A = this chain, B = another copy of it.
Amino acid sequence: MLRSCTAALRTLRALRGRREGASPAARDPVLVRRWFSTEKVIPKDYALPNPSWSKDLRLLFDQFMKKCEDGSWERLPSYKNSKLVKEQLSQAQLFTRGYEDGLGFEYVIFYNDDEKRTVCLFQGGPYLQGVPGFLHGGAIATMIDATVGMCAAIPGGIVMTANLNINFKRPIPLCSVVVINSQLDKIEGRKFFLSCTVRSVDEKILYSEATGLFIKLDPEKSLI
C-alpha cells in the first residue's frame, strides 16, 4: 500500500546518489547502507540467492544480473526492519520479508530507469497457500503491490497505493517461479499510473494482470 518504507527509501537514495553525480563515497553500496542502516550492523539484504531458491529462480537471477553489467538494469536490495518501527514496536518487520528462507516470499526486484520498468522474480513458498497446491490470491496481490509500488517509488519518491485492480486468470502452483513485469505508463501531477503482468518463466502462461494508481506524498505530512 505504502511504498515509503525505510528499505525502499534507502534504495532510492542510493540510486539517486549514483545518478545525480554523488560523491564516490555515496556510490559505495557498503557506505550507503551504513548511512541509511536501520541497525548498528549492516542489515541483511534479502534480495540475494539463498539455498531455498529453485534452479529457475537462480537462472533468472543470473540473467538479470548480467543485464545489470551495462547499467541498464539495477538490482534493488531489500531489508526486513526499519529503525522507525523498531523504536515503536520491536517485532515489526516488512510483510514480504517475515518468513524464514524458502517458506514465504522469495523475490528480487530489478529496475530499468530508461524504460521505467521493474521486474520481480518471485518464488512463492509453502506458507503462501490458498487453495491446496496453489498460491493465495492475497500473496499474489502482495507481490504485485510491491513490484508496481517500487516502479512508482523510484521516480516518485514516497508514494501510496490508491488503487489496485487485479485480474486473476490462472492459479499459480505453490513453489513455482513467476515473473512480474511492471511499467510506469503515465504521470499526471501527483498521480502515477502503472500496469503489470504476472507470467510463467517461459512467458507462455499469463497468470494475472493488474493496473495500479499511486499518489505521491509529502514526506513532511503525517499519514494519519
Contacts and interface: CB of A to CB of B under 8 A. Distances in A.
B145 A138 contact: yes
Contact of A164 (B146, B166, B170): B166
B95 A131 contact: no
Contacts of A65: none
A48 interface: no
A209 to B, nearest CB: 10
A131 B145 CA distance: 13
A158 to B, nearest CB: 8
B137 A139 contact: no
A120 B138 CA distance: 15
A141 interface: yes
B133 A85 contact: yes
A92 B129 contact: yes
B93 A129 contact: yes
Nearest to A144: B138
User: Chain A contact residues (Cβ within 8 angstroms of B): what range?
Assistant: 35 or more
Interface string A75-98: 000000010110011011111101
Contacts of A170: 224
A223 B139 CA distance: 18
A47 interface: no
A87 to B, nearest CB: 9
Which 7 A-B pairs give the minimum distances between C-beta atoms?
A: A138-B142, A1-B137, A2-B131, A95-B136, A141-B141, A98-B127, A84-B132
Interface of A: 1-6, 82, 84-85, 88-89, 91-96, 98-99, 103-104, 125-146, 149, 160-168, 170-171, 173-175, 223-224
7 contacts: A3-B131, A6-B132, A89-B174, A92-B174, A98-B127, A163-B165, A173-B224
Given A89-B126, A92-B133, A136-B142, 17 more contacts: A2-B131, A5-B131, A92-B126, A92-B129, A92-B132, A92-B174, A94-B129, A98-B127, A131-B223, A137-B145, A137-B149, A138-B138, A142-B142, A163-B165, A163-B166, A164-B164, A171-B224
